[in-house]
Amino acid sequence: MSERTEFGPGRPVVLRGGTVLPMDDRRQVLTHTDVLIVDDRIAAVGPDLPVPEGTVVIDATDGIVMPGMIDTHRHMWQTAMRGYGADWTLTQYFVWYYLEHGKLFRPEDVYAGNLLAAIEAVDSGVTTVVDWSHGLQTVDHADAAADALQSVPGRFVLAYGNIQQPPAEWTGAPEFRDFISRRITGDDMFGFQIAFDVTGDPAFPEKAAFEVARELGVAVTTHAGVWGATGDDGIKLMHDHGFMTPETVYVHAASLSADSYHRIAATGGSISVSTESEQSAGQGYPPTWAIRAHDIPVSLSMDTSVWWSGDLFSAMRTTLGADRSREHMQAQAKGDTVTHGSLRADQVVDWATRGGARALGRDHELGSIEAGKKADVVLIKNEHSPVSFPLLNPFGHVAFQAQRGDVHTVIVNGRVVKHEHRLVDVDLAAARRRIEQTVDHLRSTMGEEAWQKGMNPDIPETTILDNPYTYTDYHSSSTHSQ
Ligand SMILES: [Zn+2]
């Protein structure tokens, strides 16, 4: 537990003299600027602000002050298996979670994963996360997921899912309705969505689940455009039945036709791009190039820590890299050279902040730094890092230079939850104990052989190409020269 008690409830906070990225339409950069926070709101932004008596002062000199980042798609329960699937493909992921071992997760295991994921998010400056929680095989699991999220001082959206049953079944269960009436109270810090995928089966078995979402007035989030799993047929069914709405968040959307992108654009939905995921799991090429061409709103996400990191610096970096890689490859295939890149650093910072707020319909109060908005604010500053200066291009600095260790202060809903690189009032040791129990349970239930086999998939044989400049010749000629 932290000893820091200076951040009492109701005590205003001012971040003094930072380089502020308000993430407004003009993409302004405000140097030597203060941000004053009173209660749960940003009270003022400007130079040398007068502050109320008793205000806590945080020195933001040489740092970047930006909105808290928003991750619109993360399977938080899977953080209990951090890094286990580093060498997986999507097929191996499906086999492990959907077919073989997902059922082994008890409510306390979902709790442990969600708890660690929530702490990890806040620590890296991700102040809002959509928990695409598809391990909720019973309502006890759902209560555990909610309990964990509500025990951490971040903003979370529980996207309720269950891979062990068809969506029409679990969304139609009375205990699902009961869960919503018990747990979803309109709390600003704890939102709700429904999470399921559309297979493209012409019988449209997901229709009843969409009807439940519509009746409840809840957004649906769905993995759409995942190679070999979901595609254009699902989008068409959703569109034909009127279930594509502005609140709908399409995840990946990496293997869709132009027709599907047109339908998404025309109905006002947004796409959550998980570049690190798409690059190694195989949903399709990270689609920002296509999404930009269809003028569809974008948000960023990390998908799952069973493979990847849980910070949005990685998301911004890989998204820029993938978009630019493709642009160069496309041009070079035609013998051309890209002289001016299309995707800019300020755009991915926008997607990581305001893009997430737009996707969640909360652009009016989250995702930007402006007087009157909710105080979800991050200070990136690290006096001990040689990477912290010079600070010439703040958007480029956030996208390519900064990392989670540089997150100095995090404020969520006006509350300081991290300061001077340390989490405030977060019991990491307790989270560690819970994770250890979950890992012990899974490992002993699976057995050592299955555990190791799951983590170490077979490697396909690599065919080494014939090389006309043979090593033998090289070796003998170099020997001669000596
Ligand atoms: Zn996912």
Shared domain for 268 and 179, answered yes or no, is yes
Which tens digit of pLDDT belongs to each residue from 287-339? 999 999 999 999 999 999 999 989 999 999 999 999 999 999 999 999 999 99
CA neighbor of 73 nearest in space, from 308, 250, 235:
250
pLDDT at position 45 is 98
pLDDT at position 10 is 79
Which residue segment(s) compose the domain that 60 sits in?
13-64+366-422
Question: Separation of 303 CA from ligand 1 center, angstroms?
Answer: 5
- Domain end residue (candidates: 391, 422, 453): 422
482: pLDDT strictly greater than 50: no
Q: Is residue 438 part of a domain?
A: no
Q: What is the domain count for the chain?
A: 2
Question: Separation of 195 CA from ligand 1 center, angstroms?
Answer: 10
CATH number, domain with residue 53: 2.30.40.10
Amino acid at 106: R
Q: Is residue 235 part of a domain?
A: yes
480: pLDDT strictly greater than 80: no
Shared domain for 388 and 289, answered yes or no, is no
Shared domain for 105 and 136, answered yes or no, is yes
Question: Separation of 447 CA from ligand 1 center, angstroms?
Answer: 27
Which tens digit of pLDDT belongs to each residue from 78-136? 999 999 999 999 999 999 999 999 999 999 999 999 999 999 999 999 999 999 999 99
Sign of the dihedral through C-alpha 105, 128, 32, 423? negative
Question: Separation of 366 CA from ligand 1 center, angstroms?
Answer: 23
Question: Separation of 56 CA from ligand 1 center, angstroms?
Answer: 40
Per-residue pLDDT averaged across 342-350, rounded?
A: 98
Question: Separation of 396 CA from ligand 1 center, angstroms?
Answer: 27
Question: Separation of 349 CA from ligand 1 center, angstroms?
Answer: 21
Q: Is residue 187 part of a domain?
A: yes
Q: Does the predicted model carry a pTM greater than 0.85?
A: yes
Question: Separation of 162 CA from ligand 1 center, angstroms?
Answer: 13
Shared domain for 106 and 54, answered yes or no, is no
Shared domain for 372 and 415, answered yes or no, is yes
Q: What percent of the chain has pLDDT above 90?
A: 93
Distances (CA, A) of 415 to 28, 41, 109, 154, 353: 25, 10, 28, 10, 18
Shared domain for 98 and 160, answered yes or no, is yes
Which tens digit of pLDDT belongs to each residue from 33-57? 999 999 999 999 999 999 999 999 9
3: pLDDT strictly greater than 80: no
Question: Separation of 201 CA from ligand 1 center, angstroms?
Answer: 20
Question: Separation of 5 CA from ligand 1 center, angstroms?
Answer: 38
pLDDT at position 481 is 46
Rounded Cα distance, 200 and 226, in Å? 12
pLDDT at position 1 is 37
Q: Is residue 477 part of a domain?
A: no
Shared domain for 187 and 124, answered yes or no, is yes
Shared domain for 192 and 287, answered yes or no, is yes
Question: Separation of 436 CA from ligand 1 center, angstroms?
Answer: 24
Peptide bond into 390 cis (omega under 30): yes
Question: Separation of 156 CA from ligand 1 center, angstroms?
Answer: 16
Question: Separation of 251 CA from ligand 1 center, angstroms?
Answer: 7
Which tens digit of pLDDT belongs to each residue from 142-183? 999 999 999 999 999 999 999 999 999 999 999 999 999 999
Q: Is residue 135 part of a domain?
A: yes
**Mean pLDDT score across all residues of the chain:** 95
Neighbours of ion ligand 1 (CB under 5 A): 303
